Structure 1
Amino acid sequence: MALAAGVTAVALVRPGGEPVISVPVASAPMEVGAGDRTSRSQDRSTATASAPSPSATASPSASASASPSADASSTTPTPTGSAAPARTDTERTITAFLTGYSYWDNTPAGSATVADPIVHSHAGGTGSYADPITVAVGHSITGGNDVLDWPAGTRFYVPKLERYLIVEDTCGDGRAPQNGACHRGYPADASTWLDVYVDGAGSDRAVSDSCMAAITGTSRVIVDPASTHQVAAGPVSDGTCRTYADTGQ
């Protein structure tokens, strides 16, 4: 395939040695905007009753009315318990804009802090249904209330990653996060923005940065997935960057 300058192709294999695909890995991640990638629990304290109303841009689902589970006054939120069991009759497919954040560019940097813990007390997960990987979503602050674009605990399955995700974090800083990433600014062919925690704590930052660039783009995503989808367990970035061909299954 033709690759842009500064991009190389990396051959990927499934665990066990089965070849998968060659994935283009950029030398640097797509810039989302300095200070706009993720907003953690300590940022919630900046919300006031005078905060501006959210953008008229529609949220991806009626779930926007649900408030996140984290206590706005707490800087050390704790998990609220296991998410809902598998549901096989409510699966639906959307097109989402995927980006990534890592241990190195989280807020605060060099941490795995999350704003809305459900299964994990810190960002993580292996990608199985029982242990999904943390994903951050956009949010809005209005009237002093912080409302996530997808309720904390919502599960997704991403065929490109062969991993389950769970909403446990927010993306977008300041008093009006609805005016920036990840609430708005995604491509027209996507209906929402999901910022996946790739980890990367065990390797150099450059490795996770390249992986974040490689997964950036629109992808098919299953909302409220069954627990039976194929899983390639492990962090997205653990010294390599593991992605897979979406076969449409």
Structure 2
Amino acid sequence: MSVAIEVDNLKRTYEGTLGMTKKKTIEALRGISFKVNEGEIFGLLGPNGAGKTTTIKVLTTLLAPSSGEAKIFGYDCFGGEKLIRDKINFIFGGERGLYWRLSAYENLQYFGDIYKVPGRILKERIPKLIKLVNLEGREHEKVESFSKGMKQRLQIARGLINDPKILFLDEPTIGLDPIGAKDLRNIILKLKEEGKTILLTTHYMHEADELCDRIALINNGELIDIDTPKQLKFKHLKNESGSLEDVYIKLIGGNEIA
């Protein structure tokens, strides 16, 4: 099994301010290490401010690490950006990142042009993506008329427009109703069946339990544990059928579980 993502002793610090004038060094990442196998759904879970977004920004070549290594298919994320960017894409939850006055089809065409996808390929790919995210019959309507769930499904299609090998999903089901969230999870599972590697962040523990092959728990820039959902529950609750939420609370919240 080949490695898609490799993070080794990754650190990221930046200068903040304490009060009006005093400077303070903030450690967003304190030397985390993990690997993601090709074709795996890998969950990165933790509270707000834990370092999840910083990690994703480094892996998507948007932020330079202070030290350590981050690699995509063996290429350094800092220095090898041109060798990486056509192999990845990033989708964030919510309704940002789309042009509401364009139709779904026009959005996909626009982002395909940005990624320099040849027109003949786009002509074939866009209808397939529209079908994948269940927007057939609505693709020529303006996005401003779409529901939140439809917009977030279109976000998935946008993230696949360059046919990436790795997809970074940052809270993709945030704000969705149960049916919309379930639809999106089904799409994510279809992508795994097609061989996509997915790194997922979410605050919904049942979602992580359903989707993820392995999970890394992170807090205060440090990796707390990494394992399959089943093994995390067995190790920390002595119960494979227990709740991943209880594991999270025990490790991140510091509460004892009876």
The two structures have a TM-score, normalised by structure 1, of: 0.27
Q: Which has a greater percent of helix?
A: 2
Higher relative contact order (CA 8 A, sep 6+): 1
